[in-house]
Amino acid sequence: MRVESNDVRPSLREPLLTFLGTIALASGLFWAGKVIPIIRQNLHACIAVIFLYAPVVAGRLTGRRFDFQEAGLRLDPVRTNALVLGLAVGVTFPLFVASFFGFYDVVCGVRLARSMASVSSHFLGDMVAGMCPGSGWQPGSSGIAARLAQLRLPPSFALLAANQVLVIALPEEMFFRGYLLGRLEWRWPPERRFLGAPVGRALLVSAALFALGHFLVDFNPQRLAVFFPALVFGWMRARTGSIAPGTAFHALCNLLADVLHTSYF
């Protein structure tokens, strides 16, 4: 990644204003979609276009050229990308699945439901109901084999997968890791290495902005949890110089969550 001279470090004005403007547009579209059907039907595609072209517009306005390939829009190094993706999936997916069952067994399980029934608090009941989407928690038997047997794909899974890659993951990775992380690293160059990747303050700030951006679109506090996968996405970008493994991992994370919710709710 190209880093400007350390004598005069770039201002944060451009990336922060670009972030705020982009999120404001995304939020405006989200709320407009509540009342305008055509926006609601094309919401993700519209936001994808904003994420992809905001860096280009910002670069032209400030005279700091934005290059998609330099920002990581490439498949090479293929072998390293594949190894990094495999490592991320192998380490995080088992932990995520275990946490998924552990969390919903407690929050949506029978014992908690009975406890809530004994407490005359509409707030607590509504809060728990909000955490148990769909028709309710239906994990069946607690055995691993029995739960695996319940797995099923969401409807139109191939279309969903393509949408997750091209409309969700790729635009977000290009904006937050390709553009925003890159600009922040111009201001705060990485000072240490973690598992072979140069990391520093820019990684933490970009992950925080990723979480904040999700929250500011629909004001759902649960969106703030994406801070943690954002650290992994950023590490992958720093380790390989490409957004390809992060895009694939981002899409796979979303698809895993979709499969689990379809199977057990």
- Average of per-residue pLDDT across 236-246: 97
pLDDT recorded at residue 136: 63
Report which DSSP code applies to 75.
-
pLDDT recorded at residue 151: 84
Name the band, by pLDDT with cuts 50, 70 and 90, for residue 102.
confident
pLDDT recorded at residue 129: 54
Asked if 228 and 95 count as a contact pair (C-beta separation under 8 A), the reply is no
pLDDT recorded at residue 264: 79
pLDDT recorded at residue 120: 46
- Average of per-residue pLDDT across 114-125: 50
**What does the alpha-carbon distance between residue 255 and residue 258 come to, in Å, rounded to a whole number?**
5
| Degrees to nearest 5, angle at CA 75 with 251 and 46 | 45
The residue behind tokens 């609601």 is: 40
Sequence-separated (6 or more) residues with CB below 8 Å from residue 83: none
Digit-coded pLDDT (tens) for 144-198? 777 777 888 999 999 999 999 999 999 999 999 999 999 999 999 999 999 999 9
- Average of per-residue pLDDT across 198-209: 97
pLDDT recorded at residue 138: 67
pLDDT recorded at residue 141: 60
pLDDT recorded at residue 106: 75
**Boundaries of every domain in the chain:** 13-97+153-264, 99-149
Asked if 264 and 137 count as a contact pair (C-beta separation under 8 A), the reply is yes
**DSSP β-bridge partners for residue 219:** none
Report which DSSP code applies to 166.
I
pLDDT, averaged across the chain: 87
Is the pLDDT at 140 greater than 70? The verdict is no
**What does the alpha-carbon distance between residue 155 and residue 57 come to, in Å, rounded to a whole number?**
37
Collapse the DSSP code of 197 into the 3-class scheme (helix H, G, I; strand E, B; otherwise coil) and give the result. strand
| Degrees to nearest 5, angle at CA 183 with 83 and 77 | 20
Q: Which long-range contacts (CB under 8 A, 24 or more apart) does 212-217 make?
A: 212/23, 213/19, 213/22, 213/23, 213/26, 213/176, 216/23, 216/27, 217/23, 217/26, 217/27, 217/30
pLDDT recorded at residue 203: 98
pLDDT recorded at residue 150: 80
Collapse the DSSP code of 157 into the 3-class scheme (helix H, G, I; strand E, B; otherwise coil) and give the result. helix
Digit-coded pLDDT (tens) for 45-92? 999 999 999 999 999 999 888 999 999 999 999 999 999 999 999 999
pLDDT recorded at residue 160: 95
AA letter at 185 = E
- Enter the tokens of residue 117: 């029934």
Is the pLDDT at 202 greater than 90? The verdict is yes
